[in-house]
């Protein structure tokens, strides 16, 4: 009974936590790139929770919140209850017994032969006291229930600690669930900034390319350029046909003049004339300028009108010069010959004009074909830029959507374990102690041990005591008969 009284008294409070079948919330930033592996169903969630509950971090938080270090110090160094005072002096007695050892050790420390022992860390001692004597966590076998039991020095303290540990367990598991979302959120924020910059840069590149090349739509520009090319190719074909007709007609007239035995002014004669060559060159340049200008301006434009006026003026000068050349070579020709020569002059002039015009048309066709090639190259470059913009736009939208989902997950209150408290510890302020168990200690332990101790005491007393108590013991020991004995006279008074 004395041992039962001396044993520290504890009150057991238990909180039960239930684990729901909550599906694991997988966090996949980019499902097309990588996915987390499925969780192994063989792993026991309850064992995971047990490890969280017995962790040093959680124990430190409980010791700090409920000031268990102060309770430990007061119990061991400033006792108030009679039981604690008895234990205090028991420890003091043990210290006195150990004094020679401690004195010798202090001498070794003083002489420098040994290192001094560090002073007691009350918080660390209280932490060991809590995890070793107070905390009892167990997972119910073949069930999704975890029992959090606290053996505390008072019913209220034990209940409060058990309930608080259940709350901290839910909080820790939620932090574990959120930690992945937090890491993913921070990573996605950094990626979103870079993706947005790439998207804006691609848009700026596309805008700059269109402005520098004056491109609204490649397809429309190609269509306009092809129509222009067809127009000039048709015009070139007409010029070839017209030039062929003029050449044939000039050949016929030349043959008639030869039959009349008259001098014919050929293209070689006119071609050697310096003024004719200069007028042809100017006419060709003006025709090229006119065709180039018509690509951008209409016939009613004042610049086009001026240029056409200059071309007509040069044509007149060229015709007049050819007439002068022919007239200088054909003096005294009869009217028939004169008429043939005049027709030949007109045809030569028309041929020179058509030849210059055809060169301008072919030069324009060549330039248009070059423009088409450039447009094709620009189209490829434009298509590349548009594709790049679309890719970065899609990527930016994907990362932004993922960031919004992670933001929701970061703020949610649902963890992957799905925990709920099914039984909260709620001990009354006044109740019998849970430990030590009086009936067990007294009836099942104390009485059997007392009987065993009594038998052992009788055995040892009988074994070690060497006093003769009967005549027979003396006769057996000496081998001699006893002739007399002095009776034990009790003093009964007078």
Per-residue pLDDT tens for 271-291?
456 666 677 777 777 777 777
The model's pLDDT over 183-237, given as tens digits with 9 standing for 90+, comes to 777 778 888 888 888 888 888 888 887 777 766 566 677 777 778 778 877 877 8
pTM metric for this prediction: 0.49
The encoded tokens of residue 69 equal: 């270090």
Question: Residue 97: phi, psi to the nearest 5?
Answer: -60, -40
Average pLDDT, the chain: 76
The encoded tokens of residue 71 equal: 């309770």
Question: Residue 80: phi, psi to the nearest 5?
Answer: -120, -45
Complete edge-to-edge strand list for the sheet that includes strand 419-423: 135-139, 145-152, 11-19, 419-423
Give the pLDDT of residue 59. 93
The encoded tokens of residue 240 equal: 């070839």
Distance CA 396, CA 210 (A): 23
Per-position b or e across 388-426, b if 16+ CB within 10 A of its CB: bbeebeebbeebeebbebbeebbeeeebbbbbebeeebe
E strands present in 403-444: 419-423
Answer yes or no: is pLDDT of 180 > 50. Answer: yes
Distance CA 257, CA 345 (A): 13
Closest C-alpha to 471, from 455, 458, 483, 463 = 483
For residue 154, how many other CB atoms are within 10 A of its CB?
15
Answer yes or no: is pLDDT of 28 > 60. Answer: no
The model's pLDDT over 315-352, given as tens digits with 9 standing for 90+, comes to 787 777 766 765 555 444 445 556 666 776 777 777 77
Distance CA 73, CA 51 (A): 28
58 pLDDT tier (thresholds 50, 70, 90): very high
Torsion of CA 322, 328, 331, 333, to 10 degrees: -20
Q: Among 166-175, 280-289, 292-301, name the most confident range.
A: 166-175
Give the pLDDT of residue 368. 78
The domain segmentation of the chain, as residue ranges, is 64-134, 218-403
């Amino acid at each position: 009974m004395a041992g039962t009284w001396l044993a520290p008294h504890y009150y057991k409070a238990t909180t039960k936590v239930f684990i729901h079948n909550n599906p694991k919330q997988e966090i996949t930033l980019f499902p097309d790139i990588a996915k987390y592996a499925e969780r192994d169903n063989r792993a026991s969630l309850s064992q995971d929770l047990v490890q969280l509950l017995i962790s040093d971090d959680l124990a430190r938080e409980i010791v700090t919140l409920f000031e268990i270090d102060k309770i430990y110090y007061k119990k061991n160094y400033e006792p108030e209850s009679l039981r604690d005072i008895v234990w205090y002096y028991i420890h003091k007695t043990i210290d006195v017994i150990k004094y020679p050892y401690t004195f010798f050790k202090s001498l070794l420390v003083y002489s420098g032969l040994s290192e001094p022992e560090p002073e007691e860390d009350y918080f660390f001692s209280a932490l060991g006291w809590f995890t070793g004597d107070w905390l009892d966590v167990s997972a119910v076998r073949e069930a999704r229930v975890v029992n959090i039991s606290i053996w505390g020095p008072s019913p209220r303290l034990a209940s409060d600690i058990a309930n608080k540990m259940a709350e901290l367990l839910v909080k820790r598991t939620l932090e574990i669930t959120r930690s992945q979302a937090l890491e993913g959120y921070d990573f996605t924020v950094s990626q979103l900034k870079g993706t947005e910059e790439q998207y804006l840069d691609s848009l700026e590149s596309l805008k700059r390319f269109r402005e520098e090349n004056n491109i609204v739509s490649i397809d429309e520009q190609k269509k306009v350029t092809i129509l222009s090319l067809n127009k000039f190719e048709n015009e070139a074909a007409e010029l070839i046909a017209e030039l062929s007709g003029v050449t044939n007609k000039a050949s016929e007239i030349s043959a008639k003049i030869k039959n009349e035995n008259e001098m014919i002014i050929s293209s070689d004669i006119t071609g050697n004339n310096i003024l004719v060559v200069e007028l042809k060159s100017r006419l060709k340049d003006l025709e090229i300028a006119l065709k180039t200008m018509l690509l951008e301006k209409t016939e009613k434009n004042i610049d086009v009108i001026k240029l056409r006026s200059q071309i007509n003026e040069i044509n007149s000068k060229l015709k007049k010069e050819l007439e002068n050349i022919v007239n200088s070579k054909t003096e005294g020709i009869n009217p028939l010959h004169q008429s043939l020569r005049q027709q030949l002059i007109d045809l030569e002039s028309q041929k020179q004009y058509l030849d210059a015009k055809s060169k301008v048309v072919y030069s324009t066709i060549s330039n248009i074909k070059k423009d088409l090639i450039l447009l094709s190259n620009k189209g490829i470059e434009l298509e590349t830029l548009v594709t790049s913009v679309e890719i970065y736009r899609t990527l930016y939208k994907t990362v932004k959507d993922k960031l919004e989902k992670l933001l929701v997950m970061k703020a949610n209150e649902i963890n992957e374990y799905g925990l709920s408290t099914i039984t909260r510890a709620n001990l009354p302020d006044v109740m019998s102690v849970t430990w030590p168990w009086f009936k067990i200690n007294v009836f099942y332990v104390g009485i059997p041990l007392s009987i065993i101790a009594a038998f052992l005491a009788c055995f040892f007393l009988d074994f070690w005591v060497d006093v003769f108590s009967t005549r027979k013991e003396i006769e057996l020991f000496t081998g001699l008969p006893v002739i007399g004995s002095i009776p034990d006279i009790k003093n009964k008074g007078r």
